[in-house]
């Protein structure tokens, strides 16, 4: 995503599971044990919050209502008797529709609390590691108005032994050997180690990469690129895409390639600055009308745009370059035009692209990575190989984001590899290992998340300090470029056939 502040904050056992194979298990076994119940009306409340009794179904003497103004927060003081993993289960009701608000553990973000119903419903932030003793849990205003009844602290149940068992078989039955080899490696590695990744417009030897190399002496294992400049409405204004060239260069150097597409809407739909045409605010495109057949011209234009991108991706297929292809990302956020619609229209567009690229253009080198950021927008296991999430929790927030990891794991109907497809700050690998949040890979976005300068290779510590950067790139459970095997000859797993 083009990072301009529109991003929503989203945020095993102690050892790393080293497993392979294919299973369909999706849930943990057993029930979590409650170890403490804390009523919101007895917590520390900011001045704008008030105790109410108008809604039915609350416990205790009432519930807390508000979270309308920035700074509104409810602080629970909790206590646990032993070190371990605990679920933070909140009972809330939304007021005026779906809401999300921040949750902090001892001042650090652990994700967003969703309030999806107008009656009191439970929502848990799972597998938070707590040391024995006192802790502060804060619910802080983000999206606003809710009724907060209570916090229940439960002992987390263990992750199932098959949690990291994923198949290497791709959704495209005609996937070529280069894609099967890469997916075999990713599946073999999943649950054991995390692949490092970095988005960089100029590829493996671009600005962000130089900054990382200067600080760590390492290159990431995965290079992230964007097909944005190939969008016909940008090309019409003089843009020239170079991502295909940089993808070939990265692969020849032994790196893995992932690509997204900030799809600039077709020219007839641009209403503002042409170079921001992937945002809904600069277009008047109506995907609902296009996908239901009301706007036939729009449908033809979308197909034409996809033709252009498919032809470019064919160049990578000819060169034997497999691509972790991540189109139509972050749809549920609603800031891109492809998410400014009903989920059904988005899903139809995704499946149309899959069908066109796979069957019409024979792009058998693609591994399809989906990250629509919500299960409601999931297009189906038959057109998705890997499920990703984009998380920007703030500055120097090094938590593993285990709660979001577990949520994303549930998007698909069968076990799919879960990856951090975009991130701002890095996470602490020790915490990921401890928590069991073994993201298949991470992909740090470029620009300010690595460097403030566009000309000098000077690393910025705003989001990840140098000490943590070095720790990540030298960690025994993080794979960097020089630790990758030769992926042109990597053995294809039997389940990938």
CATH number for the domain harbouring residue 326: 3.20.20.80
Looking at the fold, whether 106 and 234 belong to one and the same domain comes out as no
- For 409, residues 6+ apart whose C-beta sits below 8 A from its C-beta are 26, 163, 387, 415, 416, 418
Q: Is the pLDDT of residue 1 over 90?
A: no
Asked whether residue 24 is domain-assigned, the answer is no
* 93: CATH: 2.60.120.260
Q: How many domains does the chain have?
A: 2
As a whole number of angstroms, the distance between CA 454 and CA 338 comes to 30
Asked whether residue 471 is domain-assigned, the answer is yes
Give the tens place of pLDDT for each residue, 240-263: 999 999 999 999 999 999 999 999
Catalytic choice (330, 448, 476, 483): 330
Looking at the fold, whether 431 and 476 belong to one and the same domain comes out as yes
| Lookup: tokens for 306 | 């996809």
Give the tens place of pLDDT for each residue, 42-86: 999 999 999 999 999 999 999 999 999 999 999 999 999 999 999
Q: Is there a catalytic annotation at residue 330?
A: yes
Could you tell me the residue range of the domain that residue 46 belongs to? 33-155
Q: Is the pLDDT of residue 3 over 50?
A: no
Looking at the fold, whether 204 and 110 belong to one and the same domain comes out as no
Looking at the fold, whether 195 and 128 belong to one and the same domain comes out as no
Looking at the fold, whether 208 and 345 belong to one and the same domain comes out as yes
pLDDT at 109: 86
Express as a percent the part of the chain with pLDDT over 90: 90
pLDDT at 10: 33
As a whole number of angstroms, the distance between CA 156 and CA 154 comes to 6
Q: Is the pLDDT of residue 455 over 90?
A: no
In eight-state DSSP terms, residue 336 is B
Asked whether residue 272 is domain-assigned, the answer is yes
Looking at the fold, whether 223 and 285 belong to one and the same domain comes out as yes
Looking at the fold, whether 114 and 223 belong to one and the same domain comes out as no
As a whole number of angstroms, the distance between CA 243 and CA 261 comes to 11
Asked whether residue 399 is domain-assigned, the answer is yes
Asked whether residue 164 is domain-assigned, the answer is no
Looking at the fold, whether 202 and 349 belong to one and the same domain comes out as yes
| Lookup: tokens for 449 | 């998340």
Which of 122, 155, 188 is the last residue before a domain boundary? 155
Give the tens place of pLDDT for each residue, 254-291: 999 999 999 999 999 999 999 999 999 999 999 999 99
Looking at the fold, whether 117 and 63 belong to one and the same domain comes out as yes
Looking at the fold, whether 121 and 188 belong to one and the same domain comes out as no
pLDDT band at 125 (very low <50, low <70, confident <90, very high): very high
- For 121, list phi and psi in degrees, rounded to 5: -140, 150
SS3 of residue 150 by DSSP: strand
Asked whether residue 23 is domain-assigned, the answer is no
Q: Is there a catalytic annotation at residue 122?
A: no
CB 88 within 8 A of CB 151: yes
Looking at the fold, whether 219 and 254 belong to one and the same domain comes out as yes
Give the tens place of pLDDT for each residue, 18-34: 322 333 333 344 577 89
pTM: 0.89
Q: Is the pLDDT of residue 219 over 60?
A: yes
As a whole number of angstroms, the distance between CA 251 and CA 237 comes to 30
Catalytic choice (422, 448, 476, 494): 422
Looking at the fold, whether 184 and 112 belong to one and the same domain comes out as no
DSSP string, 158-186: PPPTTTT------SSTT--HHHHHHHHHH
Asked whether residue 198 is domain-assigned, the answer is yes
Asked whether residue 403 is domain-assigned, the answer is yes
Q: Give the chain's end-to-end CA distance (angstroms, integer).
A: 34
């Amino acid at each position: 995503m083009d990072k301009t502040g529109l991003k929503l904050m989203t945020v095993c056992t102690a050892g790393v599971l080293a497993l392979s194979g294919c299973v369909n298990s999706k849930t943990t076994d057993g029930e979590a044990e409650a170890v403490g119940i804390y009523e919101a009306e007895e917590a520390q409340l900011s001045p704008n919050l008030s105790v109410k009794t108008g809604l039915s179904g609350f416990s205790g003497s009432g519930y807390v209502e508000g979270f309308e103004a920035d700074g509104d927060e409810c602080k629970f003081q909790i206590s646990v008797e032993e070190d371990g993993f605990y679920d933070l289960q909140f009972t809330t009701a939304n007021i005026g529709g779906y809401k999300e608000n921040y949750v902090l553990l001892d001042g650090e973000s652990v994700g967003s609390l969703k309030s999806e119903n107008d009656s009191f419903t439970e929502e848990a932030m799972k597998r938070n590691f707590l040391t024995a003793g006192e802790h502060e849990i804060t619910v802080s205003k983000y999206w606003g108005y809710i009724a907060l009844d209570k916090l229940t602290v439960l002992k987390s149940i263990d992750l199932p032994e098959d949690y990291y068992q994923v198949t290497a078989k791709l959704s495209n039955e005609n996937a070529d050997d280069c894609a099967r080899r890469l997916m075999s490696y990713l599946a073999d590695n999943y649950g054991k180690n995390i692949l490092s990744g970095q988005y960089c417009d100029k590829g493996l030897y671009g600005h962000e990469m130089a900054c990382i190399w200067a600080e760590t002496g390492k290159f990431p294992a995965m290079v992230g690129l964007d097909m944005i400049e190939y969008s016909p409405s940008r090309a019409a204004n003089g843009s020239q895409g170079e991502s295909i060239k940089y993808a070939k260069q990265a692969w020849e150097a032994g790196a893995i390639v992932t690509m997204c597409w900030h799809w600039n809407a077709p020219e007839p739909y641009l209403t503002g600055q042409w170079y921001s045409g992937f945002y809904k605010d600069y277009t008047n495109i109506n995907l609902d009308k296009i996908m239901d057949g009301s706007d036939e011209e729009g449908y033809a234009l979308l197909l034409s745009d996809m033709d252009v991108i498919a032809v470019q991706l064919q160049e990578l297929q000819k060169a034997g370059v497999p691509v972790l292809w991540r189109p139509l990302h972050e749809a549920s956020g609603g800031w891109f035009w492809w998410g400014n619609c009903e989920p059904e229209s988005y899903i139809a567009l995704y499946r149309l692209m899959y069908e066109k690229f796979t069957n019409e253009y024979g792009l058998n080198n693609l591994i399809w990575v989906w990250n629509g950021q919500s299960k409601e927008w999931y297009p189906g296991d038959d057109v998705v190989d890997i499920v990703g999430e984009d998380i920007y929790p703030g500055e120097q927030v090094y938590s593993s984001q285990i709660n979001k990891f577990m949520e994303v794991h549930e998007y698909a109907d069968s076990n799919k590899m879960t990856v951090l497809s975009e991130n701002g700050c890095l996470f602490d690998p020790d915490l990921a290992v401890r928590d069991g949040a073994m993201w298949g890979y991470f992909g740090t976005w470029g620009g300010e998340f690595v460097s403030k300068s566009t000309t000098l290779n000077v690393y910025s510590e705003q989001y990840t300090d140098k000490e943590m950067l070095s720790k990540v790139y030298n960690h025994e459970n993080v794979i960097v470029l020089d630790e990758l095997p030769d992926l042109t000859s990597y053995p294809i797993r039997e389940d990938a056939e």
